[in-house]
Structures are given as structure tokens and as C-alpha cells.
Chains A and B, each alone.
Chain A
């Protein structure tokens, strides 16, 4: 750009008063480097404005200089300490400048540290509270879980019990419904006319089952025993339990042939020969 054109454009006046746009500043500074004429013109306006500024001077408080010299002393003290430390590294004279610019931040740093610590503390308290709640919830859930586990176990065991019971009932039913099974009613004798028991005899595999319909509880040390009468002779079919088990079909011994079944009350463990006076029920094979 032509130097005179730049000078008369009015851009210099805007530049020295700080009113020029960024682009105008770039253009003018480029022109200043190229043309001493432009540079001189800028310098003339600058001096005028600086005169204007200097004419409005105002002495600052004396304390400011002392404070300033103090700060600079401190800067130099920490700066030279830095220089000592880095003196083993030759050829880095400018490294100290960076350190020095950090000093004012250092002066402030305890505030920053305190603020950061406070924020961390608050954060920690919030986290503590949060995790304490979580922990409490967890404890509660743990208790509930254990209670649930317990009840689940008890349900499972009950379930198992019912399952076993059902299986037994199914077995019973299977036995009863088997067409090969012969049902033998044994009504009560004179000793106990209302007593009833039933024998199921599988004619194919010769297995004998017993179902107690109604028998009085035996005295302590006594046990009922089932007998098969084969060709006029009693054959031991085994002793059996009363109580809950008695309600189900109980598996007894096996017999090839039989004409009659009977139950006698014997000493615990059973006897070799039936005590006929203690015969409670008896029934013949039908047909």
C-alpha cells in the first residue's frame, strides 16, 4: 500500500487510540514494517497521545512502591533458588521466567487448596451419607434375603415331604389299581370287632402290601405282625408300624401261596409263631 495513502486514510488515528479493528491493526503494522514513512507518522501520533496521557499524571501512594519492591524481592528470592536448583542444566537462562510467572499463583494457592479441600470434604460427606444409606439398605436386604432363604428352605422341605407323600400315594394307587393285585379284606375278630385292615397281594410278583384301616395303638413294647396262612401253617409276613405310616400301603414280605391273612399283636420285633389269642383281624383270599 502507498505510504501517503495509509497516512491520509485516518487509520493511524484509530490505531493509536485503540479503536482500529483487528484487520486494520494487522494492515497498519505490516505497512509500518515496510515503510519508515508510515512508522514515523504512527510514532508522531503516538507521541502526541502519550503527551496527552502524561499530562494527566497522578502520583500514587508511597506505600505502593515499598510493597512492589518487596514483591520483586520475593520473586527474585524464589527465582534465584530456582536458578540454583536448575544450575546443573546449562544454557537455559529463560527457564527462570516461567518459574517467576508461577509465583503469584503460588501466593494464592493456599486458598485454592483450602477451597479444593473443602469441596472434597463436602463431597466425601455426601458420599459417606450416600454409601451409609446404601449399606443400611444392603443390611436390610441381606436380612430380608436370609429370611426369604429360610422360608424358601422350609417351603422346599415341605414340598419334598409332599412330593414323597405323593409318590407314596401314587405307588399305593398303582398297587391298588394293578389288575394282578388281589384285595383281601380283614374284618375285626371277637377281640376287636370294629378293627379293619386290608391286604393287597400281587399274584404275579407275589408281593404283599398292607393297609391299616382301623387298629388300636399298641401298648409300649408291643407291635402288630402280619401272618400269611399257607396250607394251614402261619408264615411271618413282617411286623409293621402304626401312626402316619400305617395310613399308607406298607410293603410286607413275599409269599407264593396263601389262603388267609391275619394280624396279631406281638412283642416288639415280632414272634416266630402267632399268639392266636391276640389276633385282631383276619380275612380269607376271596374265591
Chain B
């Protein structure tokens, strides 16, 4: 992700702060696919995902002065903006209503799963390494990260005790950490 051969992270940040549109264009080319992947995973809806992605990049452009290097990398900051924006849209009443209507019309796809997180997964070119995570582990991470579910909501949705949610989340993330470590090696 940070494999910028042209710019260092500091150069990117400075460029954005100086309202350099070339830098912005570069930033978009580098990160738009990742951020768009997040938006689509959150909303499960390509139609509004484009608008939300634009919103995310406009926020990055306008609020770059609020970015604080001390608190994390630029990518972490951008990802947070993206996740929060998309989850806000997901929670907004209008979108819920749209989803409901869509759910009624696409009833076939709903199946017995309480929340359809993996609908897009297959054609996303899911990395082979990540397939080493179990489907349950991915589901757990996705509910928390992409759907913004609280521990209580996950416990209810998966019908497991609250303590079990925490334990399984720890196991899943440590497993993920291990996988990523192996890739980096």
C-alpha cells in the first residue's frame, strides 16, 4: 500500500496541505481501489458506493489539516474516514429503507444467514492468504469492521455469549496477525 516509488508519506501529506491537485490525483490512484472496496463491503451496494467514495475523498481533501502524524499513518487516517463515512450512510434511515426494499426484491440471496457480509467476496479476488482465516473468523471481523456492529449486536446476531465474542475476536485477529507476519517474511 505504501509502495509509493514517487512520493514519501510526508510528501503526500505536505502536497495535500498545499492543495496540490497532482498529489491528490496520485493519492486517488493509489488508494481509491482499497477505499472503494471498503465502501462496497459496508454498503453492499454499488449504486451509492461511488457517491460515498467521492464524499470520502472530498473529506480527505478538505480536512487534511486535521490529520495528525503523531496519532498514526496517513493510510490509517484515510481508512478511518472511509469506514466512518460508509457506516454513517449504512445507518442512515434512507439507506436502511433502500436496503429493506432491495432485500424484499432480492429475497433469494438472503438465505438463512442473519447478515450477508460475504455477498461480494467471491468476485473480489480475495487474497489466497486470507482464505486461511476461517469463514466464521472473517464473518466476525466483517461484522465488527464493515458493519460497525457492537459486541452486543454480534452476540445477538451470531447467537453466542458476549464473552465468546471477545474470545473469538482475539483468536481471529491473532490468527490474521500471524498470517500477515508470514507473508511479510
Contact = CB atoms under 8 A, between A and B. Distances in A.
A53 interface: yes
Interface stretch (A71-79, A180-188, A258-266): A71-79
Contacts, number: 129
Contacts of B76: 46, 50
Contact of A56 (B19, B61, B121): B121
Contact of B36 (A44, A60, A67, A75): A60
Given A58-B40, A72-B24, A97-B65, A49 B34 contact: no
22 contacts: A13-B173, A14-B169, A16-B173, A17-B144, A17-B173, A49-B141, A52-B176, A53-B37, A53-B79, A55-B127, A56-B41, A57-B37, A58-B37, A58-B120, A58-B124, A63-B50, A65-B29, A67-B54, A68-B28, A68-B57, A71-B54, A94-B65
Interface stretch (B5-13, B88-96, B102-110, B145-153): B145-153
The majority secondary structure among interface residues of chain B is helix
Nearest to B66: A97
Contacts of B28: 65, 68
Interface in A145-198: none
B37 A48 contact: no
B77 to A, nearest CB: 11
B39 to A, nearest CB: 8
Nearest to A12: B173
B1 to A, nearest CB: 5
Contacts of A16: 173
Contacts of A68: 28, 54, 57-58
Interface in B22-65: 24-25, 28-29, 32-34, 36-38, 40-41, 49-50, 53-54, 57-58, 61-62, 65
B151 A48 contact: no
Contact of A17 (B19, B141, B174): B141
A203 B160 CA distance: 128
* Top 6 A-B residue pairs of the complex, sorted by shortest distance between their CB atoms: A55-B127, A57-B33, A60-B36, A17-B144, A57-B37, A58-B37
Contacts of B83: 18
Contact of B169 (A13, A55, A61, A72): A13
Most A C-beta atoms less than 10 A away, residue of B40, B58, B179: B58
A13 B137 CA distance: 13
Contacts of B126: 55-56
A54 B57 contact: no
Given A16-B173, A49-B176, A73 B21 contact: yes
Interface string A1-33: 000000000100110111100000000000000
A34 B72 CA distance: 15
A110 interface: no
Given A17-B173, A100-B62, A76 B19 contact: yes
Given A53-B79, A76-B19, A18 B34 contact: no
B128 to A, nearest CB: 9
B173 A45 contact: yes
Contact of B72 (A13, A46, A72): A46
B158 interface: no
A82 interface: no
A64 B35 CA distance: 13
